[in-house]
Amino acid sequence: MLLEVEALDLRYGATHAVRGVSLSVAEGEIVAVLGANGAGKSSLMRAIAGAAAASGRIRLAGSDISRMPAARRVRAGLVLVPEGRQIFVSMTVEENLLVGAHTRRDRAVARDLAAVLERFPNLAARRGQPAAVLSGGEQQMLAIGRALMARPRLMMLDEPSLGLSPILVAQLFDLIAALNRQGIAILLVEQNTQMALETAARGYVMELGRIRTSGSAAELARDPALADAYLGAAAP
Ligand SMILES: Nc1ncnc2c1ncn2[C@@H]1O[C@H](COP(=O)(O)OP(=O)(O)OP(=O)(O)O)[C@@H](O)[C@H]1O
Ligand SMILES: [Mg+2]
């Protein structure tokens, strides 16, 4: 297993946001994490990334990273594209991309920057402009481009499709599939359950901080309980 999470627990004062969550991602796999607002999905991602203190065990490619600071987890190949993109709007597009490489010690950063700009022509056209000028879709590309600059083995994406038009959502999922074919494992948090289950091999459904159910994408897509709760059926 590339990522193994065991009995992860995270509290914010009285709020018990993540309760004994265990999950895994195999090398080269796409795994979805689904669940309603407030279920604890972002908290789980932040805990795995080391951005929030949590108890439990996290292993990356067999090594225990539970006590590792966030920057070292990035260097080990674990990178989070956070909810809401969190790009630096007053910095240029290129500066934002270079932020993604700040933990690296090797000399191939310039080459990787060129590759990311080649992959995202819209970003290349605006590389010297402040990131504030980017559209929502371009900002999401920038957040993913920044993550790629860390040369991840596992990319965690927290609601990347949020606020994007249907065409951009389709392009985003194509991009996720392309990154995966390139060898990057993906842990994908999504409210767009249908797209997520079309792209992922397996999924977990969170409810009130716990894993309520898990299975293959096909099994989850057929689960009538999930259809009511998460697959777009209107709430009563
Ligand atoms: N920094 C924080 N301080 C206190 N409580 C928090 C904090 N962040 C999240 N919470 C609470 O923890 C719980 C889980 O929140 P979290 O953001 O992880 O959910 P989520 O599944 O990502 O939701 P959404 O789909 O709306 O993004 C919620 O009850 C939320 O109010
Ligand atoms: Mg969230």
Q: Which CATH number fits the domain that encloses residue 203?
A: 3.40.50.300
Query: Is any ligand 1 atom within 6 A of the Cβ of residue 80?
Result: no
DSSP secondary structure string for all residues of 62-99: TEE-TT--HHHHHHTTEEEE-TT----TTSBHHHHHHH
Per residue in 16-52, pLDDT tens? 999 999 999 999 999 999 998 999 999 999 999 999 9
- Beta-carbon contacts of residue 204 (< 8 Å; ≥ 6 apart): 23, 31, 32, 33, 34, 211, 213, 214
Q: Tell me if 55 is assigned to some domain.
A: yes
- What's the pLDDT tens digit per position in 64-88? 999 999 999 999 999 999 998 899 9
Query: 59 C-alpha vs ligand 2 centroid, how far in Å?
Result: 23
In a domain, residue 234? The reply is no
Domain that holds residue 70: 3-229
Taking Cα atoms as reference points, which of 153, 126, 158 lies closest to residue 142? 126
| Ligand index nearest the alpha carbon of residue 206 | 1
Residues 222, 227, 232, 235, Cα dihedral to 10°: 170
Both tokens of residue 234? Answer: 């209107």
Whole-number Å distance, alpha carbon 92 to ligand 1 midpoint, is: 30
Residue 164 lies in a domain: yes
Q: What separation in Å is there between the alpha carbon of 40 and the centre of ligand 2?
A: 7
Q: Would you say the CB of residue 37 lies under 6 angstroms from ligand 1? A: yes
Give first-to-last CA distance, the chain, whole Å: 40
**Which residue, by CA, sits nearest to atom 29 of ligand 1?**
38
> What is the C-alpha separation between 23 and 61, in angstroms, rounded?
14
Q: Which atom of ligand 1 is nearest to the CA of 12?
A: 4
What gap in Å lies between CA 83 and CA 122, rounded to an integer?
Answer: 21
Asked whether residue 146 is assigned to any structural domain, the reply reads yes
Q: How many domains does the structure of the chain reveal? A: 1
Q: Among the atoms of ligand 1, which is closest to the Cα of residue 44?
A: 18
Number of the ligand closest to the Cα of 41: 1
Going by alpha carbons, the residue nearest to atom 26 of ligand 1 is 37
Q: Is residue 236 part of a domain?
A: no
What predicted TM-score, i.e. pTM, was given to this entire model?
Answer: 0.94
CA of 48 to the centre of ligand 1 (A): 15
Tens digit of pLDDT for each residue in 122-162?
999 999 999 999 999 999 999 999 999 999 999 999 999 99
Q: Please give the distance, rounded to the nearest whole angstrom, from the Cα atom of residue 16 to the centre of ligand 1.
A: 10
DSSP letters, 143-202, are: HHHHHHTT--SEEEEESTTTT--HHHHHHHHHHHHHHHHTT-EEEEE-S-HHHHHHH-SE
| pLDDT score at 201 | 96
**Rounded distance from Cα 118 to ligand 1 centre (Å):** 36
Our answer on whether the CB atom of 43 is closer than 6 Å to any ligand 1 atom is yes
- b (16+ CB within 10 A) / e for 3-18: bbbeebebbeeeebbb
Confirm or reject: Cβ of 136 under 6 Å from ligand 1. no
Q: How far apart are CA 89 and CA 84, in angstroms?
A: 12
Ligand 1 contact, 14 CB (< 6 A) = no
Tell me whether residue 235 is in a domain: no
pLDDT digits (tens, 9 = 90+) for 172-213: 999 999 999 999 999 999 988 889 999 999 999 999 999 999
In a domain, 15, yes or no: yes
